[in-house]
Structure 1
Amino acid sequence: SVTLYKAVNSTGFAHNFVATVGGFTNPTYITPELTLYPDTVGPKKVRLLLPGELPDPGTVAGKSGTPTGPAADTHFIAGQSVSITVDGTDSWGNILDVSDTIDITTDDAYDSPVTRNVPLTEGTSSFNHIFITERTSDAGEVTTPNVTTITGSNILYTDQNVTVTVDDDDTVRNLQILVQGETPVPGSDVWPAGGKTGVPDGDTGTGPIENFIAGQNITVTVRAVDNYYNLVESPIVGQPLIQVTADDPNITNPIVPSAPMTNGVLTTSIQLRTRNVFPGWVLVTTGVASGLGFNNDTSANIKVEAGAMTQLQILVPGETPVQGSGTGKVGAPITQTAGIQFNLAPG
C-alpha cells in the first residue's frame, strides 16, 4: 500500500504509478491517472508565504525557502511594503476550498496595521504589510527583541508564526534631537512628530520635572533616524557633521559647531544663559554628509531659571538690565547735575 500527500488545491492533482519489470517486451506499465484531493476532514493549517518562500504541497511544512527581504543582507526594511500570501491548507500544505477569515497579527505594537482580518477566497488571499520597528541582531545594532513575529490564526486552524529581521532604512536622512529627560521610542511615530517619551528635565535624578538653571550643563543627544525613528547607525551617505543652534540671544551660535556622529549618534552638552521659563528656549539641529543635508529637527522647549544669587547689580539712569548677557546691562550713564537728586535701580 502507498500513501499520497500532494493534492495542491481543491481541484486536485493527478498522480499515476509506473511499474517496470525487466525481461519483458514491454517492461513498463503506467497506470491510469488518479486525482488526489485535499483532506477536508482532518486538521487544517494556516500557511503564510513571505517573499523567498514557496508553497510545497505534500509536505508537513507545506512550504520551502526562507523569508527574504530587499536589503543586501536579505533582511526586511522598515517602512517598505511587503506582499504576503495566506492560505488555508490541510495537514500537508494542500489548499482547501474555504472562505474563512484569517487573523494576521505581529508582536510589534507599531506595525501598520498591528492586526488585520484577511478573508480567504477558494482558500487563499494576499495582502501588503509594512514592518515599522527595527528588529535585528546585527553587530552594533542589536535590539530587544531582535526579530518581529507575524502570526496567522483562526480558531479552526493551526496557527503559523513567521519571524523576520527588520533593518532601519539607511537611505533616509532625518535627525532627531533629544534633551536630557527625553528617551527615544523607535517605531512609535512618523518623523518629524513624536518618536520619543518624557520631557526636558533639569534634574533627572529626582522625581518631579524641574526647570534648568542658567549656565547648567544640559545633555543633548542627536540621532540619525529613518522615517519611523529607528536609529540609522550607518547612513548610506556616511556619518554627518552636526551643528546645533539655540534661540537664546546671549549665546554664541552654533552652540555645537560641526561635531561628528559615531554610529549615528552625537551626545554632547550645552549651556543656556538667559532666564526663560515660558515658553522656554529651543534648539535646532542640522547635519551634512558627503555634501548632502539631513532633515533638521527642533527640540522641545527648554525652560531656564535664574541661578542662585552670586552678585549685586546697580543701574544708574541710562542703563537697562539685560538678563543672560556678559555685562548684565546695556546703555551708558546719563550725565547728572550736581545737587539734583537722581534714582538708582537694583538690577
Structure 2
Amino acid sequence: MLPHLPGTANTSTPVVVGSAAFVKMQILMPGETAAPGSATGKTGTPTARTAGTAFTIIVNAVDAYWNKVPTVTDMVHIATTDANGVVPADIALANGTMTFTNKVTLKTPVTTTTITVTDVTDGAKTADTSPALTVNVGAFVKLQILLTGETAAPGTTAGKTGTPTAQVAGATINVTVNAVDNVWNVITSATDVVHFASTDVNADLPANTALVGGTINLTATVKTAGSRTITVTDVTNPAKTNNTSGSVTVSAGAFVKLQLLLPGETAAAGTATGKTGTPSVASAGTPLAVTVNAVDAYWNKK
C-alpha cells in the first residue's frame, strides 16, 4: 500500500475587492482604529478626554461591512450630548472621509458623553454614534467669584448665569469662590488660600481664607453707594488667574442723620466719620460756607 501523500496547495491570483454601496457613516474617536470587515468596523476603546481640551475625530462613509467608500462627497453633521461642547461646522467629505483635527471640545466632566455623525446630503444613510466617553476635569488654572444673584454654569463661556443683585449700603452679600479649570469646572482638590479686594475701599471683606474641596462660601458688606466689584486672587499660587465679580449697584440706605461739612472738610461716604480733612482756620466775624447733607448710616447722601 502506497503511503498517503498530502495534496499540493494552490493559491489564486490576487482578487481585487472593492467596497460595496455606501450605506452608513462611521465615526472614530481617539483610541479607536478602523477595522473594515469586522463586526463593529473598528478596534480599540475611546481614551478619556479632558474638559476644555480639543481633540481629533475621523468620519468615514462606509458600506455594510465598514469598508470606506472613496467616491462619497456628502455633507456631514457632528453633534454631541454635551450641551456645552464645541463641534465643527457641517462639511463635505473628501474621498469618503474627513479628519477633524482638534475640532471637537467637550466641557462637561461626565462618563456618558457621546458624539454622533449624520449625513446631511442623504438622510437615508445610517448615522453612527461613538461609545460613551469619559470626560475628566481639567487642570486648576483660575478662580471664579460669584455674588448674590449669580449662579455657576460650568462649561459656558462666562461660567455663570445671572447678574449681581442690587444692594443697599450696609447690606450683606453672599460671596462664593471656586477653583476652576479653563471651562469653569470646579477643581475639588484645590485648597489654596484666597484674598479679597473691592472697588468699595470701605467694604468689609472676608479675611484670607483657604478653599475647602475647591470652594468657599463667605459674606461681604458694601458701604459706599455706586457701582462696585469684588476681586479674588490666589495667595498660595499667584500664577492662577484672578477673577472680578460683576458690578453690584449699591444705593444709599434710609435717611437717618445729618452731616455738617466745614471749609477744609470733604464728604467721604462709607468711612467711619463720613468725611476727610480738617476745618480751615476761620477769622472772627467772617461768615463760613458750610454744607449740610442728609445721609444714611454710612454717610451716603440721600
TM bucket normalised to smaller: 0.7 to 0.9
Post-superposition CA distance 1:244-264 (Å, at most 9, x none): 101213236xx2332111222
**Distance change >3 Å, CA 311–CA 118, structure 1 → 2:** same
* Structure 2, gaps ≥5 residues long: 294-302
Separation in 2, partners of 1:243, 1:214:
22
Distance 2:290 2:33 in 1: 88
Task: Assess if the C-alpha contact under 8 Å between 1:317 and 1:333 holds in 2.
Answer: yes
Paired residues of 2:150 and 2:160 also in contact (CA < 8 A): yes
1:10-58 per-position Cα deviation (integer Å, ceiling 9, x unaligned): xxxxxxxxxxxxx8311574552563735624x7221111121122322
1:131-170 equivalences in 2 (<5 Å): 131-137=105-111, 147-154=112-119, 155-162=123-130, 163-170=132-139
2:38 maps to 1:59: yes
Cα distance, 1:116–1:233 mapped onto 2, change above 3 Å: farther
Distance in 2, matches of 1:97 and 1:319, equals 84
Distance 2:262 2:32 in 1: 83
* Alpha-carbon separation, structure 2, partners of 1:152 and 1:250: 56
Partner of residue 50, structure 2: 77
3-state SS in 2 of match to 1:64: strand
Provide the residue aligned with 1:92 in structure 2.
65
Q: Which residue of 1 aligns with 2:182?
A: 227
* 2:248 aligned with 1:269: no
TM-score, normalised relative to structure 2: 0.82
- 8 Å CA contact 2:203, 2:220 repeated in 1: no
* Cα displacement (A) at 1:271: 0.4
Q: Which residue of 1 aligns with 2:248?
A: 302
User: Is 1:178 paired with 2:161?
Assistant: no
Please list, as runs of the form range in 1=range in 2, the aligned pairs for 1:106-255 lying within 5 A after superposition. Answer: 106-113=80-87, 115-121=89-95, 123-128=96-101, 129-137=103-111, 147-154=112-119, 155-162=123-130, 163-170=132-139, 172-189=140-157, 194-201=158-165, 211-234=166-189, 238-251=190-203, 255=205
Unaligned runs of 5+ in 1: 1-22, 69-74, 138-146, 202-210
Q: Deviations over 1:43-79 (max 9, x none)?
A: 72211111211223223311222211xxxxxx20123
Deviation at 1:107, TM superposition (A): 3.2
Spell out the pairing of 1:313-328 with structure 2 (5 A cutoff).
Answer: 313-316=259-262, 318-328=264-274
Alpha-carbon shift at residue 159 of structure 1 (Å): 0.7
Query: Contact (CA 8 Å) 1:51, 1:84: kept in 2 or not?
Result: yes
Paired amino acid for 1:283 = I
Q: Cα 1:316–1:31, aligned 2, differ >3 Å: closer, same or farther?
A: closer
Alignment length (residue pairs): 285
Q: Is the Cα contact below 8 Å between 1:244 and 1:286 reproduced in 2?
A: yes
In structure 2, the partner of 1:258 is 208
1:50 is aligned to 29
Task: Output the amino acid matched with 2:136.
Answer: D
Contact 2:164 2:248 in 1 (8 A): yes
CA displacement at 1:119 relative to structure 2 = 0.8
Instruction: Give the distance between the partners of 1:114 and 1:60, measured in 2 at CA.
Output: 28
Structure 2 partner of 1:32? 12
Q: SS of 2:114's equivalent?
A: strand
Provide, for residues 278-323 of structure 1, a one-character-per-residue CA deviation record: whole Å limited to 9, x for no partner: xx0121110143x453111112111111122333444455544321
- Distance in 1 (CA, whole Å) between partners of 2:108 and 2:52 is 10
1:132 Cα shift? Answer: 3.5
